[in-house]
Amino acid sequence: GAKLSPFINFMETNYPPGFTYQDFAKDFTAEFYDPDYWAKIFKQSGAKYVVLTSKHHEGYTLWPSTYSFSWNAMDVGPHRDLLGELADAVRNQSLRMGFYHSLYEWFNPRYLSDKEANFSTSVFVQNKVMPELTELVNLYEPDVIWSDGDWEAEDSYWKSTEFLAWLYNESPVRDTVVVNDRWGSGITCKHGDFYTCRDRYNPGVLQPHKWENAMTVDKDSWGFRRNMNYDDILTSFELIKTMVETVSCGGNILINVGPTKEGTIQPIFQERLLDLGKWLQVNGEAIYESRPWTVQNDTVSPVWYTSKPGVVYAISLEWPAYGRILLRSVGSIFNSSYTTVELLGYGKSLKWRVAENITVIKLPQKAQIQSEWAWVLK
């Protein structure tokens, strides 16, 4: 259709007749792939877990899958176990390792045959999906399984119940693994250890179930784009803002950076991750192991709240005019002389007063503050 015509025209202009998707594999060299460096960047970003695409919709696996002969990173392309190397490097940084896995495959004839039969047959699932997922779990013992590519068929076709029963009761990760909610059409946002609901899901209000905002630093793409422009990239502030909004509403955030075919992470992506890490070094106590508060954001100022026992964190996304921050939603905790306020990274108590149900907190000079993009009152 018209949606695909630009891609068809590009291929016809730049590639010989008969060139297939599979012919791209030889260009995927990963020659500069350094999983130890990747893991170091992830650690410095403040991440606690990493999720790698083990297999996307084209069916190519980043580990030497027994069930993807000649269509995996060991047999064609880099000739390396890209997944295994990164899993080792990530765990050496004391981070948890998870794997994204697409259930369906664009080109697999067994899948296309099942689809043609309106999924009354399950040859693809029985001979490819289930044994391959089981192999992935047994070999690499993931902490997270991030399923995708489920929407064309119901969970009964994918045998999701059978796989999850094995995963939670018999697999080597049965006591530690968590999974998302993409296990068949109609399942998303209804069943899973955590919900993803849709890509870039950021509802802005408290959710009743644990959830995750899977989003991208490149606003337009999950994969690397050679035609990416500076304006296409989230700023460091926008990234921090998204994280704060997500955590305030009870979610985790999964930040995607698409690597190059040479196996590198673009410097601008690294910069964004490292800026996030610097912010978390100062303000991380308002994020890690926090819980949503009774309200998620203030009605007077651009402030989002998180909490821990006996503590409320007010995260201001703007430096207020006149050096005073106004809060309406915290009046109930400012009814005692024992209430103290400090600015993370500053180290001194701040003066506060309540006037007409508005709490007014006097801030120090901005030049004295470590944080550059958002500021946390404790």
Residues facing residue 353 across a β-bridge:
360
Residue 308 CB: number of other CB atoms within 10 A?
15
The yes-or-no verdict on residue 158 having pLDDT over 90 is: yes
The yes-or-no verdict on residue 332 having pLDDT over 80 is: no
Report pLDDT digits (tens) over 95-147: 999 999 999 999 999 999 999 999 999 999 999 999 999 999 999 999 999 99
CB 110 within 8 A of CB 144: no
Average pLDDT value for residue range 205-231: 95
Give the count of alpha carbons within 13 A of 106, CB side only.
9
The answer for residues whose C-beta is within 8 angstroms of residue 68's C-beta and 6 or more apart is 55, 59, 60, 61, 132
Report pLDDT digits (tens) over 337-358: 788 999 999 988 999 888 888 8
pLDDT at 1: 60
Pairing between β-strand 311-316 and β-strand 49-55 as defined by DSSP bridges: unpaired
Reference 30, options 80, 69, 68, 72; nearest CA is 80
Q: Which domains occur in the chain, in start order?
A: 28-284 (3.20.20.80), 303-377 (2.60.40.1180)
Average pLDDT value for residue range 255-270: 98
pLDDT at 4: 85
pLDDT at 299: 79
Report pLDDT digits (tens) over 263-322: 999 999 999 999 999 999 999 999 999 999 998 888 788 999 999 999 999 999 999 888
Single-letter amino acid, residue 93: Q
- What percent of the chain has a predicted confidence (pLDDT) above 90? 81
**Which pTM value belongs to this model?**
0.94
